[in-house]
Structure 1
Amino acid sequence: MEMSICLVATPSLDWHHPIVGKFVARYVGEDMSELEKAVALYHSVRDEIRYDPYRLDLSQEGMKASTTLKNRYGWCVPKAVLLAACCRACNIPARLGFGDVKNHMSTERLRRQMQTDVFYWHGYTEIFLEGRWVKATPAFNRSLCEKLGLEPLDFDGVHDSIFHSFDKAGNRFMEYLHQRGSFDDLPLAEIMTTFKYHYQGLLETINGDFEVEAANEAREDLKV
């Protein structure tokens, strides 16, 4: 893969959009190194954009980085798209990585809608820093993690940061089942094909607040 292709703007990674530029400017200074910029952008996308798998918009418009910023919420894939777009806006090569995971960061209602605990096409960002690709997953915001008894997933720009293996109590929380590879742009058509096959009940918006619902279930589990 040519490095230049991981710097261009695309319909999904629309880093040239003014709202993306303003977001980047809030957290990145000219005197910062590329690694410092990437780390700052990771934490900003992780915590400023709420993780919400209840409101899926799988249209081209709905998956844009600029749309995620306007909404201030997103699930793992649009948040990974946003982080990649922000990095490209800083002239830092970035691309998208995907894998199928068994994820326990869900609610009873979401599992019922999905009819599985496997999350296909779980998305993260791959950033080229200091001569190598490093994986970063900005999906789960700090407030959600705290409610669920998790340490927020951190990123230092050096080590891969891709999933919560265990919660604070030592219980297994997430595991990768299958890697789907790296992509210089969002493979939306492939994602849609998989979702239509596996998630027939998930392609419509679910009414509710995922973070509140998840926190309520976590409290109930502590009572058991």
Structure 2
Amino acid sequence: MTRPTEQEPPTGPDLKPGWFTDSDAPAVRTFADRVTAGRETPRERAIALFDAVRDEIWYDPFVVGTDPEAYRASRVAGGPNNWCVPKAVLLTAAARAAGIPARLGFADVRNHLNTARLRERMGGADLFVWHGYTALWLDDRWVKATPAFNAELCARFGVDPITFDGTRDALMHEYDGAGSRYMSYEHDRGTFHDLPLDDMLATFREHYGEEMFESAVTGRDAFTR
């Protein structure tokens, strides 16, 4: 698994499919074509893809599993709900399908839209390891964007949805709606051509135990229960 630096320009793999970022799969191409129809510039296509992945797929942190197939972009594109890593995988693959060089990125973050139920699932931890985002090559530089939290969920928590304009990083909320400290990035794990699933799952087991992968009620209200 290659790990390119953030400073270097795109290379061949940044436009090619990976096993997880299967940008050549019909489901991914159909998704990308539908969302970017009528968008002429790479920036316009990137914004449209970000908005679609953010809002068409409901954020659900209770579907974390170990089946590699569940992390493939072609599978994610057909589902109604998922969590940050599969959503970032889809955005990365769809961007490549739309001709935009893209990389899959990860960081460890603290205290973002957490609840008592989710904290219990994580063994009391408030550090979210391997939070997923996408790095997109636009206007001769890399721009980071995380499509995790859909707009309706953000409204429930009293925060504005993360917006992406193609010129600035669109990362997690630093403050909540009242101006209090809400979320911080603790460690950037870098960018990758494809998902390093084994490494990610090993870290999950180290931090949270097997309980992280237990089945749970999911759906539009799962996160707030």
- Given the two structures, how large is their TM-score scaled by the length of structure 1? 0.91
- CA RMSD across the alignment: 1.5
Other-structure match for 1:165? 174
Report deviation, 1:213. 5.1
Matches within 5 A, 1:41-120: 41-115=49-123, 116-120=125-129
Q: Which residue number in structure 1 is paired with residue 185 of structure 2?
A: 176
Partner of 2:142, secondary structure, is: strand
Aligned counterparts of 1:122 and 1:64: Cα–Cα separation in 2: 17
| Distance in 2 between residues matched to 1:174 and 1:205, nearest whole Å | 27
Structure 1, residues 145-169: CA drift from partner, whole Å, max 9, x if none? 0111010000000001111001111
Partner of 1:38: 46
- 2:165 is aligned to 156
SS of residue paired to 2:189 = strand
1:73 deviates by 1.4
Cα deviations across residues 177-220 of structure 1 (Å, max 9, x unaligned)? 111111111111110110111111211222244x525556xxxx
Which of 1, 6, 10 does residue 18 from structure 2 map onto?
10
Displacement of 1:51 in angstroms is 0.5
In structure 1, how many angstroms separate the alpha carbons of the residues matched to 2:188 and 2:40? 33
SS in 2 for 1:71: coil
What is the rounded CA distance, in whole Å, between the counterparts of 2:39 and 2:191 in structure 1? 30
| Percent sequence identity over aligned pairs | 44
Give 1:206's aligned residue. Answer: 216
2: distance between equivalents of 1:154 and 1:183? 23
Q: Which runs of 5+ in 1 are unaligned?
A: 217-224
Query: Matched residues in 2 for 1:189 and 1:75: separation?
Result: 17
Residue-pair matches, total? 215
What is the TM-score with the length of structure 2 in the denominator?
A: 0.91
**8 Å Cα contact 1:137/1:162 also seen in 2:** yes
Q: 1:142 to 1:202 in 2, by over 3 A?
A: same
The structure whose RCO (Cα within 8 Å, separation 6+) is larger is 2
C-alpha separation between the residues in 1 aligned to 2:111 and 2:58? 17
Structure 2 alignment gaps of length 5 or more: 5-9
